[in-house]
Amino acid sequence: AVQAAPPAGTGPIVKLWSWNWNSVARECVDVLGPAGYGAVQVSPPHDSMSKGGSVWWDVYQPARYTLTSKFGDENAFKNMIDACHGAGVKVHVDAVVNHMTGQGSTSYGGYSFSKYNYPGLYSSWDFRNSPSCVIDDEDYKKNGWRVQNCELVSLADLDTGSGYVRDRIAGWLNRLTALGVDGFRIDAAKHIHPDDLAAIKAKLTGSPYLHLEVIYGEGEAVQPSQYTGIGDVHEFVFGRKMKEQFTGQIKWLRTFGESWGLSVPADRAVTFVDNHDTERKDASKNDATLNYKYGDTYKLANVFMLAWPYGTPRVYSGFTWSDKEAGPPSANGGFVTDTDCGNGRWTCFHRQMAGMAGFHKAVAGTSVADWYDNDDNVIAFSRGNKGWVAINNGSGSVTRTFTTGLPAGTYANVAGSGSVTVGSGGTASVTVPAKSAVAVHVGGGPTPTPTATPSPTV
């Protein structure tokens, strides 16, 4: 199979994490398609061990490759794909293929299994368990073999060197492709040897877009660069840098790029401010990221991600939490209930970024120009003659005349409300309130109705 890179002008990925299939289907039609999101990444759809809805992480323990999960059945899954495709949105599936379960014996499909025994699918000899070993923290720096062949948090590690196992994994992914799935996020890709992953990829039908979760760690034995020949790779340094900058001074972002020590080149990177793992990290840890609890700071970091040219951005949208283990809203023994963006249980953060999804799509292929900063926490830049953005991460409102690079006209602020009027010289007087952003692009959003006294503010 050939790696299909997203074509220029494709909208960003949105990860609707822990959403059920019916809710994703509705969101594709109502919000994602109209906003210009290019793809939606959904949670693992396989049958998994079940903790009755009390935790979120049960779905990272596959029990069987059937579409019987807490997010809905095969019909709901298929309907979701059709609805999303109808709205112009591709569907990416979270593929958990490094391992099976580490505990328990109840699945959402009501099937019996144990750690190294999955009737009809895998038996003891399909795992690297004689003797079994568990990955230790020190292995990451010292022993790449153990990172890929021992158990990740005691989860039964599949022998991905075996032809039988590779066939089962490829068969599962190909079934999803046959149902219309367009791409896969490969869970724990760092724990699968690149040769094994390449061999599985060679058995895939069609050309699904692959993005691999290979978490960068300084000086580690397994590096993202070992995987960029197989698919795009998740850029974990990006989120760490966003936290550092947006809790400091954002003027430094002027030079943001590979020279900052990012772990994946721009044309191979999937960038994100946070994901379901990093949002739960203790804030004191150096791999912790911003998350929805940071409010406007989080929002501004996402605006920057969607406005700055680096990789394929992915907006994250999960459920609200205080207990790090707690599962999504559910009923009837753990089945995830329909998303309600108004009940406070879901962040629905991607809706706040809907306008910026369109911005990202509109400015594809253009370069950064017209940089401005106030030597502190306000920045602005244009993207060719297609778009312009100002980000105020400071505590006071800023009003000034900016060079926008845009043709004269009035544009809707897709990062907030109000509009910007650009004069014939490409300049505009704009007010950017504290902790907010103004973003405008050619062809984006409805042209706002001019008011009696055209106000060039937000």
User: Among positive and negative, which fits the CA dihedral 68, 184, 235, 303?
Assistant: negative
Choose among Ca ion, ligand LAG, none what residue 174 binds, the Cβ cut-off being 5 to 8 Å by kind. none
Number of residues that bind Ca ion (CB under 5 A): 4
Q: Collapsing DSSP states into helix, strand and coil, what is residue 216?
A: coil
Pick from 182, 187, 232, 235: which binds ligand LAG (CB under 6 A)?
Answer: 187
Minimum CB separation from Ca ion for residue 192, in Å?
5
In the window 44-83, what residues touch ligand LAG (CB under 6 A)?
57-58, 60-61
Burial (0-12, 13-18, 19+ Cβ within 10 Å), 429: middle
| Environment class of 2 (CB within 10 Å of its CB; exposed 0-12, middle 13-18, buried 19+) | exposed
Reduced DSSP (H G I as helix, E B as strand, rest coil) percent helix, strand, coil of the chain, to 5: 30, 25, 50
Per-position x/- string for 212-231, each x denoting binding to ligand LAG as judged by CB under 6 A, each - no binding: -x------------------
- 27, 47, 157, 187: the active-site residue: 187
From 151, 213, 232, 274, active-site residue: 213
238 in contact with ligand LAG (CB under 6 A): no
Interface with ligand LAG: number of residues (CB under 6 A): 15
Q: Quick one: which of 52, 88, 102, 409 contacts ligand LAG (CB under 6 A)?
A: 102
42, 89, 96, 270: which one binds ligand LAG (CB under 6 A): 96
Give the interface segment with Ca ion, choosing from 98-106, 354-362, 376-384, 390-398 (CB under 5 A).
98-106
Contact call for residue 317 and Ca ion (CB under 5 A): no
Tokens in use for 99?
Answer: 């391992």
Tell me which of Ca ion, ligand LAG, none is bound by residue 154, counting a contact when its beta carbon lies within the kind-specific cut-off of 5 to 8 angstroms.
Answer: ligand LAG
Greatest C-alpha distance within the chain: 78
Where would I find the H helices in 156-193? 163-178
157 binds Ca ion (CB under 5 A): yes
Beta strands 232-234 and 269-271, pairing class: parallel
Minimum CB distance to ligand LAG smaller for 223 or for 397:
223
Q: Is residue 187 involved in binding Ca ion (CB under 5 A)?
A: no
Q: State how far the Cα of 241 lies from the Cα of 230, in Å rounded to an integer.
A: 25
Contact partner, 147, from Ca ion, ligand LAG, none, Cβ < 5-8 Å per class:
none
Partner interacting with residue 188 (select from Ca ion, ligand LAG, none; CB below 5-8 Å by kind): ligand LAG
Q: Which does 157 bind (CB under 5 to 8 A by kind): Ca ion, ligand LAG, none?
A: Ca ion
Angle at 81 between CA 155 and CA 311, to 5 degrees: 70
Q: What is the DSSP string of 218-285?
A: TT-SS-GGGTTTTSEEE-HHHHHHHHHHHTS-GGGGGG-SGGGT-SS-GGGEEE-S--TTGGGS-TTS
Choice from 23, 98, 291, 419 touching Ca ion (CB under 5 A): 98
Q: Binding ligand LAG by CB under 6 A: which of 30, 75, 86, 103?
A: 103
Residue 235, interface with ligand LAG (CB under 6 A)? no
Asked whether the beta carbons of 226 and 182 are under 8 A apart, the reply is: no
Query: How far are the Cα atoms of 126, 215, 268, 432, 458 from residue 455, in angstroms, in the given order?
Result: 68, 47, 42, 13, 8
Alpha-carbon span 314 to 129, nearest angstrom: 36
Interface residue with Ca ion among 46, 191, 383, 435 (CB under 5 A) is 191
Give the CB-nearest residue to ligand LAG: 102
How many Å apart are CA 136 and CA 72, to the nearest integer?
A: 35
Q: Are 209 and 179 in contact (CB under 8 A)?
A: no
187 counts as catalytic: yes
213 catalytic per annotation: yes
Query: From the list Ca ion, ligand LAG, none, which binds 82 (C-beta under 5 to 8 Å, kind-based)?
Result: none
- Cβ atoms of 226 and 263 closer than 8 Å: no
Per CB under 6 A, the segment of 148-156, 245-253, 391-399, 411-419 that binds ligand LAG is: 148-156
Active site residues: 187, 213
- By CB under 6 A, name the binding residues for ligand LAG: 57-58, 60-61, 96, 102-103, 152-155, 187-188, 213, 277
- By CB under 5 A, name the binding residues for Ca ion: 98, 148, 157, 191
